[in-house]
Every structure is written in structure tokens, then in C-alpha cells.
């Protein structure tokens, strides 16, 4: 076999598996097995194949392998943000769960947009992924049609579906919103405002939990809600806190839909001589790393982001291996971290 072009992939110039096998002195099947299932070959054989791969600069053709095996070894994960530490933690969990199974992770950032989710899913389905991980329950009709038509195993993360036929891993956003509101009520607060931004489905479910608890206590007043579609930031939290203090008479507590807003709310109060929690209590959601260390420390909902990603990906890998899921609705719960701000 020539090392000067014979056996190269047609028109590409790339090294082929046939060349790797020839250089390593093994059959093409053994070379393939050494790369895709290294545990099934001897250490010596694997070492020879790996050395040939290094010498030739061989890169496996995943598209060809997927066509031959009907498996792409690719899992798609769609998240609404790559800058939000909530979702980077979820992705860390996914990556750790799929690593041993030699799956590759294809990440799509939907930017909280139905149109972007449709575009990404349409593109990624062309790669014939083995499985899909989604970070929401609600989708546009077009996304729903594509998912149903593809028949690709799919697991949804971050919330729990009422429909047990759907595979979901997370916690009840509604119950978490209700739990925080009940905490504030138990602390004696009565004029409790809810501040929400981005208005994605998770924020809206937390707001539903807030309303549920306020109604149960006979305290609900729609005027106490400040909801804006702007992207959530610390600066926006300060701005909305100013609005709450200026427009909501006698407000004594504020439940922010996430910690970014709550941090901004606390900073605004500190700059303007408003005591927290003496004049107004402030609570957040997600328990970001800084929340336990700011002054005052922030009362918030601790969400198991890494575990959500890990357990969702594990469930999906089990499905792909033909194993029955131990549950279709995996509730990982949440923890209310009571701190100084309330």
C-alpha cells in the first residue's frame, strides 16, 4: 500500500481507515473496532492502531459511520442561553453523563426564541442525532411536528410535565415559586411584589406559583406584579426595584424571578438607603454562587442544575441502549435557602 495518495478518500486527500489498518498490520474490521470499541481489542492492537492514526492524521468520518450503523453517536441539547450559569451547569452534567458512552454533544442556543429553536432543530435533525435534550416543555407547533415526525428519543429538562408519557427531568417551577412566596408570608410580609423578566416559560410558571400562594393567603393583588420581556440583568433588577418602591405603596417584600434581578434590587437599595430586610425583604431564584456571599446574603431557591443535566442525559442514554427508564418523570426537587435578605 502506498503512503503517497493511494487509498485516500476520493477527492478529499484525507487518510482512510484502510490505510490505518495497513500501517497497523490489522484488518479493517479490527482497526474499526479498536477506534469505536477499544475494550474489545488487546492493548497491543489498540496501541498499534492509535500509533497509525497519529502518523497518518486519520480523522474518522462520522457521517459515513452513522450511515453504516444507523447511529450518529450524537446527542443534541438545546438551551436558551450559553452565558447564563444556570444552563452551563446543566450542560456540564450532560457532558459528564454521555462521555463514557462515547457520544458527542451538539449544543444549540435558542436565545429564548421559538423561531431560533425551529431553525436549530431543523438543521440538527439533518445530522440524524440519536437523541435530543430540550430545556423547556412548551414549543411552537412546528417544533412539535418535527419532534413527533423524527421519532427520535427526547427528554425535556428543568420542569416536570403533567403528561407522564413525556420524559421529563427537573423540578416543579410552580411549586418552587409557591414555596418562596409562602416563606415570605410566614415571615410576616403581606405586600409582596413579584418582579419577572425575560418571561420565558420557567419565569411564568414561578409567577403562577406566586399567585397561587398569594391567593391562598388572601393577599393576591395583580398590581403587585412587575413583568417585563427584557433580558434579565443585574442592571434591570436595580431599575425594576426602583419602579417597585416608587409605584407600589407599602410594598414590604419583593420576590425576583431570578438571582440576577435580586442582586440588582439589593444593590439599588444599598445605594439609596433602603434597608434590606428592615424596610423591604428581597428574595431570588436559582442560588447563583454570589448569592450566599453578598451582604445581606440572599434568600433564594437552590436548583439542582448539574443533576438535572446529568440525570436527563443518563435517562436518554439508557433509552438509546434499549433499557426501560426507571421513571418517566424524574423530580429532583429544590431547596429554599433562607438567608439574611428576608
Here the cell at position 28 is 479493517
Q: Residues spanned by CATH 3.40.50.2300 within the chain?
A: 72-171+306-334, 173-301
Rounded Cα gap, residues 219 and 190, in angstroms: 7
Here the cell at position 119 is 431553525
Looking at the domain covering 173-301, what would its CATH class be?
alpha beta
Three-class DSSP labels, 82-143: CCCHHHHHHHHHHHHHHHCCCCEEEEEECCCCHHHHHHHHHHHHCCCCCEEEECCCCCCHHH
Instruction: For 222-248, write each residue's pLDDT tens digit.
Output: 999 999 999 999 999 999 999 999 999
Instruction: For 137-174, write each residue's pLDDT tens digit.
Output: 999 999 999 998 888 999 999 999 988 889 999 999 99
Here the cell at position 74 is 450524537
H or E element: which one contains 32? helix 28-36
pLDDT of res. 163: 86
pLDDT of res. 157: 97
0.85 exceeded by the pTM?
Answer: no
Question: What are the residues facing 283 on neighbouring strands?
Answer: 255, 299
Lowest mean pLDDT among 66-75, 127-136, 170-179, 221-230: 66-75
H or E element: which one contains 267? helix 259-271
pLDDT of res. 35: 85
pLDDT of res. 57: 79
User: Per-residue pLDDT for 12 more than 50?
Assistant: no
Q: What is the mean pLDDT of residues 62-70?
A: 52
The mean of the pLDDT values for the chain is: 91
Instruction: For 90-119, write each residue's pLDDT tens digit.
Output: 999 999 999 877 899 999 999 999 999 999
User: Per-residue pLDDT for 275 more than 90?
Assistant: yes
Question: Under CATH, what is the fold of the domain 72-171+306-334?
Answer: Rossmann fold (3.40.50)
Amino acid at each position: 500500500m502506498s503512503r503517497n495518495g493511494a487509498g485516500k478518500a476520493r477527492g478529499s486527500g484525507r487518510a482512510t481507515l484502510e490505510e490505518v489498518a495497513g500501517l497497523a498490520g490489522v484488518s479493517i474490521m479490527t482497526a474499526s473496532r479498536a477506534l469505536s470499541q477499544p475494550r474489545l481489542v488487546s492493548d497491543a492492537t489498540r496501541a498499534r492502531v492509535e500509533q497509525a492514526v497519529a502518523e497518518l492524521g486519520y480523522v474518522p468520518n462520522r457521517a459515513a459511520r452513522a450511515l453504516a450503523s444507523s447511529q450518529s453517536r450524537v446527542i443534541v441539547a438545546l438551551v436558551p442561553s450559553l452565558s447564563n450559569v444556570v444552563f452551563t451547569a446543566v450542560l456540564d452534567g450532560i457532558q459528564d453523563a454521555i462521555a463514557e458512552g462515547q457520544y458527542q454533544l451538539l449544543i444549540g442556543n435558542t436565545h429564548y426564541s421559538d423561531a431560533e429553536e425551529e431553525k436549530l432543530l431543523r438543521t440538527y435533525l439533518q445530522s440524524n442525532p440519536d437523541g435530543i435534550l430540550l430545556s423547556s416543555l412548551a414549543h411552537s407547533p412546528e417544533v412539535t411536528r418535527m419532534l413527533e415526525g423524527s421519532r427520535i428519543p427526547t427528554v425535556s429538562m428543568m420542569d416536570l410535565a403533567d403528561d407522564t408519557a413525556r420524559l421529563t427531568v427537573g423540578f416543579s417551577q410552580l411549586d418552587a415559586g409557591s414555596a418562596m412566596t409562602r416563606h415570605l408570608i410566614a415571615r410576616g410580609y403581606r405586600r409582596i411584589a413579584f418582579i419577572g423578566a425575560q418571561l420565558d416559560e420557567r419565569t411564568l410558571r414561578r409567577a403562577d406559583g406566586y399567585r397561587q400562594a398569594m391567593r391562598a393567603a388572601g393577599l393576591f393583588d395583580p398590581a403587585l406584579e412587575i413583568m417585563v420581556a427584557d433580558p434579565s440583568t443585574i442592571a434591570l433588577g436595580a431599575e425594576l426595584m426602583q419602579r417597585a418602591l416608587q409605584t407600589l405603596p407599602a410594598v414590604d417584600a419583593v420576590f425576583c424571578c431570578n438571582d440576577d434581578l435580586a442582586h440588582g434590587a439589593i444593590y439599588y437599595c444599598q445605594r439609596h438607603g433602603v434597608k434590606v430586610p428592615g424596610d423591604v425583604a428581597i428574595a431570588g431564584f436559582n442560588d447563583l454562587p454570589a448569592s450566599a456571599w453578598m451582604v445581606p446574603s440572599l434568600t433564594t431557591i437552590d436548583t439542582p442544575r448539574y443533576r438535572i443535566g446529568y440525570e436527563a442525559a443518563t435517562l436518554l442514554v439508557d433509552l438509546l441502549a434499549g433499557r426501560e427508564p426507571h421513571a418517566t418523570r424524574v423530580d429532583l426537587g429544590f431547596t429554599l435557602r433562607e438567608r439574611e435578605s428576608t
